[in-house]
């Protein structure tokens, strides 16, 4: 986007879906207050283009609080006690007094690693199993800390709005539009994550940044992160590779054993590619699909025009849905439905399966 066309205030205001705005009054007020602040708008413009995202500014402020900033720390602790407007105006006053709090973190990336997306992935993989896919290698592109390399190991609670669960790492799929199948997932053989900056679960600052990328009005997500990190130590080993997916994908697919189908997967990653990178990525991945790989992605269609997202035969049941796109082996990408960006609901509508040739 050209500097002239970039409207930071508008970008802040539109950064939460209507659904999330309604349930997150503190962040809703904060993005409006940031939009009204020329300092906050300038900071967003200072971010490098691929990370010019209001979520990066929100994460930097939250990171300041988690690092014990004398103003932000008590303010974030007071969420639920002070009024949302009060919280937002004081956070922005602190930002305007000390813009370095955000500026010093602009070299980072929004790396939210949302295990809730594994609930969506599990539903897709289960459906693929009914279509004859029994063994896969999972290649998670933009893996962050690798929390979505285990869709077969999380427990998914469906329609449980009470969160009354002693397994904090369980995922909550709060609403289903239609149905998702039951039963086992395909067997996952190799688990490979690729990221420009893979985060290390044993590095305190990496974990703190991941915490900062979460939204403070959702303490259950922070608890789930802790639980998932703890459990991950006993889960099968995964490989995490550092580098751009565009540079690494060919060798990663080539390294997969022939015992299983490589599944190239990404969620909320291609939106950080330039338009040209998206086009190159599509071409590159489709070559692998032609040669026997599967491609699954969860992205917002308006942010990934270069992938040429397929038309959907159903509309997203709620505003701001993430499109679920699947390319079965040697097939063009098809829309399989929609989900909440963090996997809180799903509308899975895979196209009717082609009957196998006689």
The residues pairing with 327 across neighbouring beta strands, listed in sequence order, are: 295
**From 112, 157, 335, 339, residue interacting with ligand SAM (rule: CB under 6 A):** 112
Instruction: Give 230's contacts (C-beta < 8 A, 6+ positions apart).
Output: 169
Asked if residue 299 binds ligand SAM (CB under 6 A), the reply is no
Q: Which CB atom, from 86 or from 206, has the smaller least distance to ligand SAM?
A: 206
Q: Any idea how long the chain is?
A: 358
DSSP states along 246-286: HHHHHHHHHHS-TTSEEEEEEES-GGGS-HHHHHHHHHHHH
- 332: number of CA atoms within 13 Å, CB side? 7
Using CB under 6 A as the binding rule, whether residue 58 contacts ligand SAM is answered as no
Minimum CB separation of residue 272 from ligand SAM in Å reads 4
Give the CA diameter of the chain.
Answer: 71
Minimal distance, residue 350 CB to ligand SAM, in Å = 21
Which of 90-98, 142-150, 153-161, 183-191 is the region at the interface with ligand SAM (rule: CB under 6 A)? 142-150
Backbone φ and ψ for 104, nearest 5 degrees, come out as -65, -15
The single residue among 15, 17, 144, 327 that binds ligand SAM, judged by CB under 6 A, is 144
CB of 114 to ligand SAM, least distance (A): 4
For ligand SAM, the binding residue among 245, 304, 307, 348 (CB under 6 A) is 245
Minimum CB separation of residue 151 from ligand SAM in Å reads 11
Task: Check residue 150 for interaction with ligand SAM (CB under 6 A).
Answer: no
User: Which of 130, 197, 257, 287 is in the footprint of ligand SAM by CB under 6 A?
Assistant: 197
- Please check whether residue 156 is in contact with residue 120, taking contact to mean a CB–CB distance below 8 angstroms: no
Segment lying near ligand SAM (by CB under 6 A), choices 39-47, 163-171, 244-252, 316-324: 244-252
Between 194 and 228, CB nearer to ligand SAM: 194
30 and 94 Cβ atoms separated by less than 8 Å:
no
Question: Does residue 127 bind ligand SAM (CB under 6 A)?
Answer: no
Closest to ligand SAM by CB, 87 or 336: 336
68 φ, ψ (degrees, to nearest 5): 90, 20
Neighbour count for residue 100 (Cβ, 10 Å):
9
Choose between 85 and 218: whose C-beta lies nearer to ligand SAM: 218
Determine if 346 is a binding residue for ligand SAM (CB under 6 A). Answer: no
Distances (CA, A) of 308 to 124, 245, 305, 338, 339: 20, 18, 5, 16, 19
By CB under 6 A, residue 62 contacts ligand SAM: no
Q: How far apart are CA 250 and CA 273, in angstroms?
A: 17
- The DSSP element (H or E) to which 46 belongs, if any, is helix 38-46
Interface residue with ligand SAM among 15, 148, 316, 322 (CB under 6 A) is 148
Contact positions with ligand SAM (CB under 6 A) in 255-294: 267-269, 272-273
Does 322 engage in binding with ligand SAM (CB under 6 A)?
no
Q: Which is nearer to ligand SAM, 112 or 157 (CB)?
A: 112
- The residue whose Cβ lies closest to ligand SAM is 142
Piece of 14-22, 129-137, 188-196, 203-211 that binds ligand SAM (CB under 6 A): 188-196
Q: Are 294 and 127 in contact (CB under 8 A)?
A: no
- At residue 108's C-alpha, the angle toward residues 273 and 307, to 5°, is 10
If the CB atoms of residues 20 and 114 are measured against ligand SAM, the closer one turns out to be 114
Stated as kind and residue range, the H or E segment containing 86 is helix 84-97
List residues binding ligand SAM (CB under 6 A).
Answer: 109-114, 117, 142, 144, 148, 194-197, 244-246, 267-269, 272-273
């Amino acid at each position: 986007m050209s500097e002239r066309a970039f409207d930071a205030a508008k970008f802040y205001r539109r950064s939460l879906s209507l659904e999330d705005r309604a349930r997150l009054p503190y962040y809703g007020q904060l993005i409006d207050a940031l939009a009204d602040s020329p300092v906050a708008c300038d900071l967003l413009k200072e971010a490098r283009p691929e990370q010019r995202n209001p979520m990066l500014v929100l994460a930097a402020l939250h990171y300041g609080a988690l690092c014990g900033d004398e103003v932000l720390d008590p303010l974030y602790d007071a969420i639920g006690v002070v009024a949302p407007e009060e919280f937002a105006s004081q956070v922005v006053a602190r930002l305007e007094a000390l813009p370095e709090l955000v500026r010093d973190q602009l070299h980072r990336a929004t790396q939210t690693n949302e295990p809730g997306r594994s609930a969506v992935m599990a539903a897709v993989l289960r459906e693929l199993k009914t279509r004859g896919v029994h063994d896969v290698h999972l290649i998670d592109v933009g893996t962050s800390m690798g929390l979505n390399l285990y869709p077969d190991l999380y427990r998914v609670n469906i329609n449980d709005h009470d969160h009354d669960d002693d397994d904090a790492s369980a995922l909550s799929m709060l609403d289903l539009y239609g149905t998702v199948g039951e039963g086992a997932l395909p067997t996952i053989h190799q688990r490979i994550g690729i990221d420009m900056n893979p985060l290390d679960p044993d590095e305190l600052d990496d974990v703190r940044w991941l915490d900062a990328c979460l939204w403070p009005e959702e303490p259950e997500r922070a608890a789930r992160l802790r639980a998932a990190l703890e459990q991950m130590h006993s889960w099968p080993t995964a490989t995490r590779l550092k580098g751009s997916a565009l540079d690494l994908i060919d060798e990663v697919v080539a390294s997969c054993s022939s015992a299983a189908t490589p599944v190239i997967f990404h969620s909320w990653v291609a939106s950080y590619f330039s338009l040209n990178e998206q086009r190159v990525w599509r071409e590159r991945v489709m070559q692998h699909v032609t040669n026997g790989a599967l491609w699954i992605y969860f992205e917002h269609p308006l942010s990934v025009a270069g992938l040429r997202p397929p038309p959907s035969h159903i509309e997203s049941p709620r505003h701001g849905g993430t499109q679920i796109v699947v390319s079965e082996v040697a097939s063009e990408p098809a829309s399989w439905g929609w989900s909440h960006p963090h996997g809180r609901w799903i509308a899975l509508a895979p196209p009717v399966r082609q009957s196998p040739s006689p």
